[in-house]
């Protein structure tokens, strides 16, 4: 059994850029070290977070180098500030949704998507990570 990830006291403010939040299927909320500390976890430890939802925040300065697809659930993408276009590969063709300043998009499950960044942008993601796939972006 793996030890529980580091947690902060409940009275401490949580910065979702450096601390991620996992919402488990049983209703528990766990905050985790974010950024490289999270993404460098071994694969077997990452699988602990496949069930449930992961809330993360990123500052994006460049176009995404990858396309991604989440087969288990829709993804909620919220632009907190900046200027981006989310590019979605839909069955009917490619759709581009531009967000400036603030706004949100729901990316349907199973839809490949990437982002073009027009200005430094802060984005919040609510994602069910199980089965997520990536592929290189031609622009990335």
| Tens digit of each residue's pLDDT (9 = 90 or more) over 45-74 | 888 888 899 999 999 999 999 999 999 999
6 pLDDT band (50/70/90 cuts)? low
Q: Is the dihedral of CA 115, 120, 123, 127 positive or negative?
A: positive
pLDDT at 126 > cutoff 50: yes
Give whole-number Cα distances, 43 to 8, 21, 49, 50, 107, in Å: 24, 18, 10, 11, 25
118 pLDDT band (50/70/90 cuts)? very high
| Residue-range domain boundaries for the chain | 19-130
Instruction: Please name the residue ranges forming H helices in the chain.
Output: 36-39, 43-46
| Tens digit of each residue's pLDDT (9 = 90 or more) over 12-42 | 788 888 899 999 989 999 989 998 899 899 9
Q: Which residue has the tokens 């998009």?
A: 105
Q: Which of these, 71, 73, 36, lies nearest to 56 by C-alpha position? A: 36
- How many Cα atoms within 13 Å fall on the side-chain side of residue 12? 8
Cβ proximity of 71 and 107 under 8 Å: no
pLDDT at 119 > cutoff 80: yes
- How many Cα atoms within 13 Å fall on the side-chain side of residue 110? 2
pLDDT at 109 > cutoff 60: yes
Architecture of domain 19-130: Sandwich (2.60)
The predicted structure's pLDDT at residue 65: 95
pTM of the model: 0.86
Specify the 3-state DSSP secondary structure of 48.
helix
CA distance linking residue 27 with residue 1, whole number of Å: 21
């Amino acid at each position: 059994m793996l030890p529980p990830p580091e947690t902060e006291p409940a009275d401490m403010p949580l910065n979702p850029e450096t601390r991620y939040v996992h919402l488990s299927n049983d209703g528990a909320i766990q905050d985790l070290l974010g950024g490289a500390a999270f993404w460098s976890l071994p694969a077997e430890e990452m699988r602990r977070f496949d069930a449930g939802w992961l809330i993360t925040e990123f500052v994006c300065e460049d176009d995404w180098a990858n396309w991604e697809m989440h087969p288990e659930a829709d993804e909620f993408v919220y632009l907190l500030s900046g200027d981006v276009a989310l590019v979605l590969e839909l069955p009917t063709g490619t759709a581009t949704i531009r967000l400036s300043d603030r706004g949100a998009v729901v990316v349907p499950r199973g839809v490949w998507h990437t982002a073009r960044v027009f200005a430094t942008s802060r984005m919040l993601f609510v994602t069910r990570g199980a089965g997520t796939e990536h592929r290189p972006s031609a622009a990335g």
